[in-house]
Structure formats: structure tokens, C-alpha cells
């Protein structure tokens, strides 16, 4: 519902086809744009990672002097304090270097955690803000679970990449460069061997990476489909059991789950190949280098310390390459997830070119409308014209449709050349067969959708000129499908007017005939609702929804089969309260029980998107047309 102080969401959806990866470079640039919003943490992580890597690389430099200057000369000699003391001193220096690197690694870890969480916090906020600004038509084409997977699965892949992958790429890059130049200094011949093997590693990584990139993207899409289907079935579990469709549901889930298995297997098969291949190539490189180094040592082109140090630096050189290849797969998954997140963020938001706003107003001594900051119970449309002048129109609830034509998809017309009017205080009812266009009319009044042709005027103003938020604040809507939020009953009723006092909430509940059952609950108005009010009956949930509309105190009220879930006896009690609520308001009623619209000022009978009959109850009964057939159940074939 929507009222002067609030509104509530609602959506349904279906799936969409799997898409191929889009602009990878653009996604990386954009993702790092989010990371660099926290420059201090990013560069802190970068510096600590570099220090840690430099310490690790430089620490290995001590191996050559330890072997050549201390251990080798000791061969065949007795250990004495004069010989051991310098060695111990050098090893203590080496230990201090590694300790300094460990402290830097700790700093890197802390910066990484803070950077990751703050980046994801910003990204989730932007994603949620984007969803809040999307039109209803967006949710008509996507299941809830598929959208939720952007917040869960896709964000989780980004968390892993930012917290582990980014630092891994930085530290590995420093270690690779540092180790390379030291290896080149120790022996260019052995370095050449290592470089050839690295080229082979890079070629294999690139080849397998292309294969895995597609399947990681597909895996994320299939995961979204699985989540969407699970949520849909959980929500509709009663329907599934009523029609004994458990086997069909399980069978269909097996199909989409199998699609996920295939894409995940393919993605991880290519990803898991990289680790063993890189490790085995590293072992081959190590063995080949040791053999050639031994030959160079025999020819006295290298010392024993050179060989030991070089072999250590091979580990420091190839291990980061192996780590990068592993993180490369995480990066692919993260980019696939980031693309899906940015896809939502980049969706075209609901367009609002309105400039007429709703303001609090009061009447001066001459009866002229004046804008005021305080709440007076009088509302006015503030219309700022092109020449800078401002006019005020009192909000009365005068609704006019002028030759309105509309279709949801641009192909099949739902409303065809509909014209109608509702004067302030009138109760207008829409009746007709399912799919005749009754609910569509109310959706157009609050601009959930835009009309194709014609005009809708509100107090003489084209509603396209009215800002959507202000338009919807002036409308109170009670839908057939109620939606209650996690919170107390009082908080759910207050959703219609966030400034409402407890007394106003109780009064609204009394109008909706909800006060009695609320008072009998153990916690009364403080009763906590969860799971869309699952601890209440459908009728009780509807009563709270009506109370939420009542506390909004709107000039225009839309009741879309609002009492469809309430028994006839309760409905009569509600009608008495609703009559008081509807007094002085323009009311649009869609009802499946025609007895509830007998007192309507005008009844519109719709068929195939057209108004085929109009008049009050008595007039339409005398005509013995469609309304007569619907009311009496006396359908006749034409």
C-alpha cells in the first residue's frame, strides 16, 4: 500500500536466458573503482604486501653467505665458538628480517579485511539502491531468488577475490620480480631455463583460462536459477502438495540442478587442472635447474651457495606463479559475479520527470491556499511553472481518464480507449471477468506503469507532471495479496504513516475492525510478525493491511479486492468502518463480491479492456447486461 507517509514493495518474476561474459576490462576497472574509494586501506595493504614480499625475498639472500662463507669452510673442522658465533649472528639477522616480514603480513591481513568489508558494504548499498529505484516491470521478468543471488553468491565471490586474490596478486608480483632479478644475478643460464618453463606455464594458464571463464559465468547464472526455483517452490509448497505435484517439482529441480552440476563441473574441471599442472611443471623446473646447476658447479661457474640459493629462489619464483593461476580462477568467478551485480546497478531506473509536488497547506483569511511546514491535514499540489511562478491546487481526489490505451508488453492491448471520471468523495467500482483490466486501471493511477495513449488527470493535473513519490503518497492502496514486514503489528500499521502515534494506530485498527483480535493476542500491538505474518490468518493479515491504509489517511483510496480473504460476516463489520474511512474520499473498488459495490456511485463493467457498461447498481440491473449476468449468475451465450 501507499499513503501520505509511506509505501510497500511487491513483485513477481520469471527466469531469463544465460548470457555470455561481457566487458571484462571494463568490469575490472569498475570494480577497482569501488576498491579505490578506500585508498588509505588499499595502499596500506599494498605497502604491507610489498614489505612482506621483499622481506621474504631478501631473507633468502642470507643462504649464499651461510653456505659459502660459513658452512663450507667448516667442512672437516671442529665446531668452535669462533666459527659458530658469526654464523649465529648472521642467522639472527636473517630471523629478524623474516619476523619483520611476518609483522608486515599481519598488517596486510588487517587492511585486507577492512578493505573487503567496506568495499562490499558500498557495493551492496549501491545494488540495493538500484533495486529500490527499478520499475515494477523489472520484477515482473525475474524471480526473487535470482535477484537474491546477486546479494549472496555474487557478493561472496567478490569477497573471496578482494580479501585473498588482490593481495595475492600484489605479493606474488613483488616476489616474482624480486626473485627474477636475484636469479639473474646468480646465474643467467639457469634463469633462462626457468623463463622458458614460465612461458609454458603462462601459455597453459591462458588456454585453460579461456575455457573456464565461460563456464564460471554460466555456473553463476545456473546458481541463480536454482535459488530462484527453490524460493518459488518453498513459497508455493501448499499449492504443490494440494495438487500432488511433488514428483514433478522434484523432477524439474533435478533438471536445473543437473544444469548447475554440468556448468560447475566444467568450470572447476578446467580450474582444478591448473594446480596440478603448475605444480608438476615447478618440480620439473626444479629438477632440471638442479642438474644444470650441478654441471656449472663442477666447471666452477657457480658455488654451492649459489646453487642452494638459486634453488630456493626458484621456489620463490614459481610458487607465486602457481598462486596467481589459482587466484586467476577466483578472479574469473569474481568478475562473473561483478558483471551480474553491475548489470542490476546499470538497469534503467524508474523515470520520473514530474515537477509537481505535494505539500502541507493551510487556508489564509481570504480562503487562499498557502504552503506551510506543519501538518494541517490539508494537502496541495505545488506547481512550479516555466516562468518561475508557483500555483497551488488543493488535493481533492478528482481523477479523470481520457481515452487511455495501455499494454504491458507493447503488443497485446489491455486497456483500449478507456474514459472515466471520479469526483471527490465518489466511490467508483470496477467489475468484470478476470483479465478484463480492472487492476490495470489502479496500477496506472499510481504510475506503476506508463500509459501508451491518452491522459490521466489528478485534480486537473496530468499525472505525468506529478512526481511519483508525491503521487503515491496521496494514495492509499489495499491489495488482495497482502505483504507484512518483519516487526511488530504496530510497526506494520505505522508503515502507512511513520509519524502516527499509538493512539492513531489503535484508531486505524478499530476502523479496519482489527483492534479486537489484536487485543486478544498475548503481546497485543507488540506481537512480532515474521515470515510475512505467517503466525496470523489470511483474514487477519488483510485487516492489518486495511489498518495500514487507514492510518495513512489518504484522499484517494484504492481497494483491490481488499476483502477477498475475509469471511462475509467480518466483511460486513469492515464495511461499516470502511464507510467512515471512505467518507469525503475518492474510492476505487475492485471486488469479486458484487454485493460490496451496490452502494457505489458508479459501477464500471469492463470486458476485454473496454468499459461496456456504466451506471449505479439499479441502472445496471435494469439493463440486464453483463453486470446483471455477473450479479445474478445468469450467464447467457451470445
DSSP letter, residue 523: T
476 vs 140, which has greater pLDDT?
476
Position 68 scores a pLDDT of 66
Q: Where are the domains of the chain?
A: 25-345, 357-394, 399-632
Q: Which of 191-195, 282-286, 387-391, 469-473 has the lowest mean pLDDT?
A: 282-286
Does the pLDDT at position 638 exceed 70?
Answer: no
Select from 144, 139, 341, 343 the least CA-distant residue to 229: 144
Does the pLDDT at position 243 exceed 70?
Answer: no
Position 27 scores a pLDDT of 85
The arithmetic mean of pLDDT across residues 240-257, rounded, is 80
Q: Environment class of residue 204 by beta-carbon count within 10 Å: exposed (0-12), middle (13-18) or buried (19+)?
A: middle
Query: Which of 86-95, 417-426, 462-471, 477-486 has the highest average model confidence (pLDDT)?
Result: 462-471
C-alpha cell read off for 457? 488527470
Select from 358, 424, 435 the least CA-distant residue to 392: 358
pLDDT band for 562, please (50, 70, 90 cuts): low
Does the pLDDT at position 383 exceed 80?
Answer: yes
- Residues 399-632, CATH architecture: 3-Layer(aba) Sandwich (3.40)
Position 238 scores a pLDDT of 62
Exposure b/e, 308-323, CB count within 10 A at least 16 = b: bbbebbbebbbbbbbb
The three-class DSSP label of residue 485 is coil
Position 540 scores a pLDDT of 83
Position 22 scores a pLDDT of 61
Select from 453, 434, 431 the least CA-distant residue to 444: 453
Position 6 scores a pLDDT of 37
Position 413 scores a pLDDT of 87
**Cross-strand partners of 380:** 359, 394
- pLDDT tens-place string over residues 214-228: 777 778 778 878 877
- pLDDT tens-place string over residues 626-635: 888 887 865 4
Q: Cell 502541507 sits at which residue?
A: 360
The arithmetic mean of pLDDT across residues 292-296, rounded, is 82
Does the pLDDT at position 17 exceed 50?
Answer: no
Position 352 scores a pLDDT of 84
For residues 601 and 428, the answer to whether their CB atoms sit within 8 Å is yes
First to last CA, the chain: 39
Q: How far apart are CA 232 and CA 259, in angstroms?
A: 18
C-alpha cell read off for 13? 518474476
For residues 402 and 575, the answer to whether their CB atoms sit within 8 Å is no
- pLDDT tens-place string over residues 466-477: 998 889 888 888
Q: What is the dihedral of CA 340, 341, 347, 351, to 10 degrees?
A: 160
Q: For residue 139, what is the enclosing H or E element?
A: helix 136-139
Select from 567, 602, 627 the least CA-distant residue to 433: 627
Q: How far apart are CA 244 and CA 409, in angstroms?
A: 34
For residues 546 and 512, the answer to whether their CB atoms sit within 8 Å is yes
C-alpha count within 13 angstroms, C-beta hemisphere, residue 638:
3
Assign domain 25-345 one CATH number from 1.10.3470.10, 2.20.130.10, 1.20.1560.10, 2.60.40.420.
1.20.1560.10
Would the pTM count as exceeding 0.85?
no
Residues 90-94: contacts with CB within 8 Å, 24+ apart? 90/62, 90/65, 90/66, 91/62, 91/66, 93/62, 94/59, 94/62, 94/66
For residues 471 and 354, the answer to whether their CB atoms sit within 8 Å is yes
pLDDT band for 105, please (50, 70, 90 cuts): confident
Q: Which residues contact 479 (CB under 8 A, 6 or more apart)?
A: 1, 10, 545, 560, 561, 562
- pLDDT tens-place string over residues 309-357: 788 778 777 777 767 766 776 787 788 888 888 988 888 888 888 899 9
Amino acid at each position: 500500500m501507499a499513503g501520505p507517509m509511506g509505501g510497500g514493495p511487491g513483485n513477481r518474476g520469471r527466469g531469463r536466458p544465460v548470457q555470455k561474459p561481457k566487458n571484462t576490462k571494463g568490469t575490472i576497472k569498475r570494480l577497482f573503482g569501488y576498491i579505490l574509494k578506500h585508498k588509505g586501506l588499499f595502499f596500506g595493504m599494498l605497502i604491507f604486501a610489498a614489505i612482506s614480499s621483499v622481506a621474504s625475498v631478501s631473507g633468502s639472500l642470507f643462504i649464499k653467505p651461510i653456505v659459502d662463507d660459513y658452512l663450507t669452510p667448516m667442512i672437516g673442522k671442529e665446531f668452535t665458538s669462533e666459527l659458530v658465533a658469526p654464523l649465529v649472528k648472521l642467522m639472527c639477522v636473517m630471523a629478524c628480517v623474516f619476523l619483520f616480514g611476518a609483522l608486515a603480513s599481519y598488517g596486510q591481513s588487517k587492511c585486507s579485511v577492512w578493505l573487503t568489508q567496506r568495499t562490499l558494504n558500498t557495493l551492496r548499498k549501491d545494488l540495493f539502491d538500484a533495486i529500490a529505484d527499478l520499475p515494477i516491470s523489472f520484477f515482473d521478468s525475474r524471480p526473487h531468488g535470482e535477484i537474491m543471488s546477486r546479494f549472496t553468491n555474487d557478493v561472496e565471490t567478490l569477497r573471496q577475490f578482494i580479501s585473498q586474490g588482490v593481495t595475492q596478486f600484489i605479493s606474488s608480483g613483488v616476489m616474482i620480480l624480486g626473485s627474477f632479478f636475484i636469479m639473474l644475478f646468480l646465474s643467467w643460464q639457469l634463469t633462462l631455463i626457468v623463463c622458458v618453463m614460465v612461458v609454458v606455464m603462462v601459455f597453459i594458464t591462458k588456454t585453460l583460462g579461456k575455457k573456464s571463464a565461460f563456464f564460471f559465468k554460466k555456473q553463476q547464472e545456473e546458481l541463480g536459477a536454482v535459488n530462484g526455483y527453490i524460493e518459488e517452490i518453498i513459497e508455493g509448497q501448499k499449492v504443490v502438495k494440494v495438487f500432488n505435484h511433488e514428483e514433478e517439482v522434484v523432477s524439474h529441480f533435478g533438471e536445473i540442478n543437473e544444469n548447475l552440476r554440468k556448468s560447475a563441473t566444467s568450470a572447476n574441471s578446467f580450474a582444478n587442472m591448473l594446480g596440478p599442472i603448475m605444480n608438476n611443471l615447478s618440480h620439473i623446473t626444479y629438477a632440471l635447474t638442479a642438474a644444470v646447476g650441478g654441471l656449472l658447479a663442477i666447471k666452477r661457474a657457480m658455488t654451492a651457495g649459489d646453487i642452494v640459493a638459486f634453488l630456493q629462489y626458484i621456489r620463490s619464483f614459481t610458487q607465486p606463479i602457481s598462486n596467481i593461476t589459482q587466484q586467476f580462477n577466483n578472479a574469473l568467478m569474481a568478475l562473473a559475479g561483478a558483471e551480474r551485480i553491475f548489470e542490476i546497478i546499470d538497469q534503467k531506473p524508474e523515470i520520473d520527470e514530474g515537477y509537481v509536488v505535494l505539500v502541507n497547506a493551510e487556508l489564509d483569511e481570504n480562503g487562499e491556499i498557502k504552503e506551510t511546514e506543519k501538518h494541517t491535514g490539508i494537502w496541495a499540489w505545488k506547481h512550479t511553472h516555466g516562468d518561475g511562478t508557483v500555483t497551488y491546487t488543493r488535493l481533492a481526489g478528482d481523477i479523470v481518464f481520457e481515452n487511455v490505451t495501455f499494454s504491458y508488453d507493447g503488443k497485446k492491448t489491455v486497456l483500449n480507449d478507456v474514459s472515466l471520471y471520479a469526483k471527490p468523495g465518489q466511490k467508483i467500482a470496477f467489475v468484470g471477468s478476470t483479465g478484463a483490466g480492472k487492476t490495470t486501471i489502479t496500477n496506472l493511477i499510481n504510475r506503476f506503469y506508463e500509459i501508451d495513449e491518452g491522459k490521466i488527470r489528478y485534480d486537473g493535473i496530468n499525472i505525468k507532471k506529478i512526481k511519483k513519490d508525491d503521487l503515491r503518497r496521496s494514495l492509499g492502496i489495499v491489495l488482495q495479496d497482502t505483504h507484512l514486514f518483519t516487526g511488530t503489528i504496530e510497526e506494520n500499521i505505522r508503515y502507512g504513516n511513520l509519524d502516527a502515534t499509538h493512539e492513531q494506530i489503535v484508531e486505524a485498527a478499530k476502523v479496519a475492525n482489527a483492534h479486537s483480535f489484536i487485543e486478544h493476542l498475548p503481546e497485543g500491538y507488540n506481537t512480532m510478525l515474521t515470515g510475512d505474518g505467517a503466525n496470523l490468518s489470511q483474514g487477519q493479515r488483510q485487516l492489518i493491511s486495511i489498518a495500514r491504509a487507514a492510518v495513512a489517511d489518504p484522499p484517494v483510496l484504492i481497494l483491490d479486492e481488499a476483502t477477498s480473504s475475509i469471511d462475509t460476516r467480518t466483511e460486513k463489520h469492515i464495511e461499516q468502518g470502511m464507510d467512515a474511512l471512505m467518507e469525503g474520499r475518492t474510492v476505487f473498488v475492485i471486488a469479486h463480491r458484487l454485493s460490496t459495490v451496490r452502494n457505489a456511485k458508479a459501477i464500471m463493467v469492463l470486458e476485454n479492456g473496454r468499459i461496456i457498461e456504466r451506471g449505479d447498481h439499479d441502472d445496471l440491473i435494469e439493463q440486464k447486461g453483463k453486470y446483471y449476468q455477473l450479479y445474478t449468475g445468469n450467464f447467457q451465450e451470445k
